[in-house]
Amino acid sequence: MKFMLTFDWSPDTKKRAEGISRFQKTGGLPPVGVKLLGRWTRADLSGGYDLLETEDAKKLLEYSYVWGDLMDLKVFPVLDDDDLSVALESVME
């Protein structure tokens, strides 16, 4: 299943600096069992988005725990258009 993780540093510039430092040291990779499909950071460095894929939601908790001390995180299950179309077809019949 795919999940969108959003992160927000604003307006705490000290936490943002620590987050950038931690990212530079670790690469910000998710734990084993979670595939990083894409990451986008807002141009103003106030936060961004990670697209993740996993079948083990507990792994998302691990990832959130590692970064949650520095930023506000939210994780949402998401569907791409193909999966959405299949789901809609099954409920609209």
pLDDT tens digits, residue range 4-56?
999 998 778 888 899 899 999 999 999 999 999 999 999 998 899 999 999 99
- The three-state secondary structure class of 36 is strand
Query: Residue 16: what pLDDT?
Result: 86
Query: Residue 68: what pLDDT?
Result: 93
* Order of strands across the sheet that contains 35-41: 35-41, 47-53, 2-8, 72-78
Task: Indicate which CATH number applies to the domain containing 75.
Answer: 3.30.70.260
Residue 93 scores a pLDDT above 90: no
Q: What is the pTM of this model?
A: 0.86
Supply the range of the domain harboring residue 23. 2-92
- Which residue in 38, 50, 54, 37 sits closest to 8, CA to CA? 50
Half-sphere exposure of 42 (CA within 13 A, CB side): 11
**What's the total number of domains in the chain?**
1
